[in-house]
Amino acid sequence: MTEPVKLIGAFGSPFVHRAEVALRLKGVAYELITEDLFNKSELLLRHNPVHHRVPVLLHGDKAICESLVILEYIDEAFDGQPLLPTDPGERAEARFWAKFFAEKCLMSVWLALWTEGETQKVLMKDAKEHLAIVETQLKEKRFFGGVAIGLADIAGASVLSHWAGVLQEVAGITIMSDDEYPAIRRWMEDYNADEVVTECLPDRDQLVSHFTSIRGKCVAAAKSMLPNYLATK
């Protein structure tokens, strides 16, 4: 007997998208529960008491939090397309790039969008350095996972392929212009070509109006995340 799977998410969250892609790649049926992050439900607060954040995966009576932890859980708890290779060295590499995306590349891009002046200059420089590293990696492989989407691809392409364009438009700043990073662009196209991905991508226009309406909150969030990013550089 299979236990029911639910995913607590919120519109516009690329971290929720990561979990949805993983579940769909595995062919796992799930119920999506959409939260209003400015009016969090008792369900969310109860199942993620430490962070009060989405996504939260509910598998039967178990609650799993943090999107990268959820990805590894999905890989281990369900059969289907593996998200990680079997070789320990290759697994370490996949985890390395997933962490690089989560803590460096996506973070510097996010922070560069919502800061100003000298701070923004530093973050832009970091973002471009990080993107250049990713570009070099993608010259030599289709996906970080090899021939198929894997853990690191879900971690990175989820944000860069759909959200980065939207956020640059809303912030009025260009970090990745159309003629830059051809390998990254090719990777994003390959990622988006997978129908499993497009099934759970939010509508672009709706994303633009969503982030436009919460622009102030993005700036505030970036401000609170900045010290930790700088401290761990």
Residue 23 beta carbon to another protein: minimum distance, rounded to whole angstroms: 14
**Binding test (CB under 8 A) with another protein, winner from 1, 50, 179, 216:** 50
Q: Which is nearer to another protein, 99 or 204 (CB)?
A: 99
Among residues 67, 61, 27, 28, the alpha carbon closest in space to that of 46 is found at 61
**Binding test (CB under 8 A) with another protein, winner from 20, 66, 126, 153:** 66
**Binding test (CB under 8 A) with another protein, winner from 100, 163, 181, 187:** 100
Q: Is the bond leading into 49 cis (omega within 30 degrees of zero)? A: no
Residue 142 beta carbon to another protein: minimum distance, rounded to whole angstroms: 10
Edge-to-edge, what's the strand order for the sheet holding 5-10?
Answer: 31-35, 5-10, 56-59, 62-65
Among residues 92, 77, 110, the alpha carbon closest in space to that of 152 is found at 92
SS (H, E, C) 218-233: HHHHHHHHHHHHHHCC
Q: How many CA within 13 A on the CB side of residue 149?
A: 27
Residue 50 beta carbon to another protein: minimum distance, rounded to whole angstroms: 7
Can residue 1 be called a binding residue for another protein (CB under 8 A)?
no
Can residue 101 be called a binding residue for another protein (CB under 8 A)?
no
**Binding test (CB under 8 A) with another protein, winner from 36, 46, 69, 189:** 69
**Binding test (CB under 8 A) with another protein, winner from 31, 36, 121, 136:** 136
Q: How far is the CA of 96 from the CAs of 91, 109, 204, in angstroms? A: 8, 18, 30
**Binding test (CB under 8 A) with another protein, winner from 33, 43, 77, 214:** 77
Can residue 205 be called a binding residue for another protein (CB under 8 A)?
no
Query: Bridge partners of 65?
Result: 56
Number of residues interacting with another protein: please give it, by CB under 8 A. 34
Which residues contribute to the site for another protein (CB under 8 A)?
Answer: 50, 59, 62, 64-66, 68-70, 72-73, 76-77, 87-93, 95-96, 99-100, 133, 136-137, 140-141, 144, 146, 228, 231-232
